[in-house]
Structure 1
Amino acid sequence: MTNVKPIDKSAIRDAATVIVLRDRNSNPRILMGQRGAKAAFMPNKFVFPGGAVDVEDAHIHLVARLSEPCATRLTEDSATDISHALSVAAIRELWEETGMVLGRPGIWSTPVPADWQSFAATGHQPDASDMQFVFRALTPPGRPRRFDARFFLVDAENLSSDLDDFSAASDELSHLQWVSLHQARAFDMPFITEVVLAEIEARLENNAAPDSVPFFKNNDEKSLFLRLRGDPMPS
């Protein structure tokens, strides 16, 4: 009998989270949903759609990639460049958890993996060009799951979906809804989600993207709040 190595659930997994912003200039709202009561990670909390990077995400073709500044900042303080896989994971998780399509009309020229068949059936190919890398957070030690999560911001107007139709969503998140940015803190959400919301509000107030991305880095020694500026990876 072949010995199967058990999954190390305490290992840090790369993850991607998507903040969809609607009505930026009038009544800004964000798309959120509630995690299940039995979820091992952040049960009952209201969160943005997102999840862990899959191995296959590195091999999915994007009709358009992230902007160069975003891709470069994703490599900072990282052992390898997984900017492509992260952006693919963000689009996949957004589709799976909300039924929202971030892509361009087009037919896939290669065989469609199982996880992408329902997305491809909408007649779209994934497009990461409108996503902005806005935040990074490493889950503190001692939690039942640990993620190195990168948060991406995208305007709802760039989605190829009916913004009020969640019929294609999985059941991973319940109570999917557009939440007023100014009222979001009334919801039961993780601390880090509140921190990210403050960053988004600051961006809207300044009406411009900052020259760096916050990184809330929790490791075994201490917690650090860093700024990722997109410096080249050391050779």
Structure 2
Amino acid sequence: MSDTANVEIEADQHPYFRPKDAATLMLVDRTARIPKVLVGRRNANVVFMPGKFVFPGGRVDKTDYRIPVAAPIPAELEANLLQGRPLISRARARALAVCAIREACEETGLCLGRKSDAAASLDGPWAPFAAAGLLPDPSGLFLIARAITPPGRVRRFDTRFFTADASRIAHRIEGVIHPGAELIELVWLEIGAKPLAGLHQMTRNVLGELQRRLACGPLRHDAHVPFFHVARGKMQVDVLSGTA
């Protein structure tokens, strides 16, 4: 799931695969002088990046399109998600934001939501929210970057990297992190801490963008949003939005 950040350039070895929509959530604790980010350590038995620290994330699920939410995504966030090519619909933009919340809850047990009687109707991958009486709340998300896996890989993702403040965590599900799970440990690390140097190169690029944004003060929707993608065999970085 968290392999959505794997966007390093690699020689073509496979037929063309259309990238799948995916989302990653970078939770930030700003209560101390140096902000901390939440990362999970992957199980040593998994094929991709065993034992490495990653941010929670994964592919958009069909339920992400139709699930009720506690509050709509901000208009500014929607505008950012709609930029860049290929063009997407408003429903798809909403699903990307909702996906980030679902994946974070599935992989870490930390849920961003609000209490609502309507939560009782949730099922499938959203059952943990129903059990907690929560509807997902994407109103506190900010888009930090977008990255598309280069051609030539069996698995390709068009990943949007979101961030949210830790104060948005409304509920914690116990038992999600254990020795047999995908993530076996959760750690809050200061941005710049040595263990983060082991992140995938693209993930480090996005983390650097998050660090830059945090150093400028409160997060804003009008900040630059880099878009990493390969064109003519070379990595390019476009700017999707922003004036800051």
TM tier, smaller: 0.7 to 0.9
Q: TM-score, normalised by structure 2?
A: 0.81
**1:193 aligned partner:** 203
Of 128-137 and 105-114, the range deviating more from structure 2 = 105-114
Q: Does 1:127 align with 2:140?
A: no
User: Partner residue of 2:240?
Assistant: 228
Q: Call closer, same or farther: CA 1:205–1:11 in 2, change over 3 Å.
A: same
Alignment of 1:136-147 (within 5 A): 136-147=146-157
Match of 1:3 in 2: none
Gaps of 5+ in 1: 1-7, 231-235
What residue is the counterpart of 1:217 in the other structure?
229
Aligned residue for 1:92, secondary structure, equals helix
The CA RMSD over aligned residues, in Å, is 2.4
Contact 2:41–2:53, Cα closer than 8 Å, also in 1 = yes
| TM-score, length-scaled by structure 1 | 0.84
CA contact (8 A) 1:41 1:144 kept: no
In 2, Cα distance between equivalents of 1:60 and 1:220 = 38
Please point out which of 76, 79, 91 is paired with 1:69: 76
Q: Give, in whole Å, the separation in 2 of the partners of 1:122 and 1:199.
A: 33
Deviation at 1:40, TM superposition (A): 4.8
Alignment of 1:1-235 (within 5 A): 10-77=17-84, 78-81=86-89, 82-108=92-118, 111-161=121-171, 167-169=175-177, 171-184=181-194, 186-208=196-218, 209=220, 210-219=222-231, 221-229=233-241
Q: Which amino acid aligns with 1:49?
A: P
Q: Secondary structure at the match of 1:160?
A: strand
Number of residue pairs aligned between Structure 1 and Structure 2 = 221
Determine if contact 2:39/2:54 at 8 Å carries over to the other structure: yes
Q: For the Cα contact (< 8 Å) 2:146–2:226, is it kept in 1?
A: yes
Is the 8 Å Cα contact of residues 185 and 194 (structure 1) preserved in structure 2?
A: no
Q: Structure 2 unaligned runs (5+)?
A: 1-14
Please give the per-residue CA displacement for 1:171-192, whole angstroms capped at 9, x wherever unaligned. Answer: 2222211111120555421001
* Distance verdict in 2 for CA 1:9–1:60, change over 3 Å: farther
Match of 1:5 in 2: none
Give the conservation status (yes or no) of the 8 Å contact 1:32–1:176. yes
- The 8 Å contact of residues 119 and 130 in structure 2, kept in 1 or not, is answered as no
TM-superposed deviation, 1:74 = 0.6
Question: Which secondary structure does the structure 2 equivalent of 1:207 belong to?
Answer: coil
> Partner of 1:233 in structure 2?
none
Query: Which amino acid in 2 is paired with 1:74?
Result: L
Q: Deviations over 1:10-65 (max 9, x none)?
A: 44111010000013552311110123345454444321111000112111111112
Large movers: runs of 4+ above 6 Å: none
C-alpha offsets along residues 152-211 of structure 1, whole Å, 9 cap, x if unaligned?
A: 11000111135xx75344722222111111205554210011111111111121114353
The structure-2 alpha-carbon separation of the partners of 1:156 and 1:227, relative to structure 1 and needing over 3 Å to count, comes to: same
More helix as a share of residues: 2
Give the SS at the match of 2:26. Answer: strand
SS in 1 for 2:189: strand
Partner AA of 2:130 in structure 1: A
Aligned-pair identity in percent equals: 36
Seen in structure 2, the aligned counterparts of structure 1 residues 140 and 22 have a Cα distance that, compared at 3 Å, is same
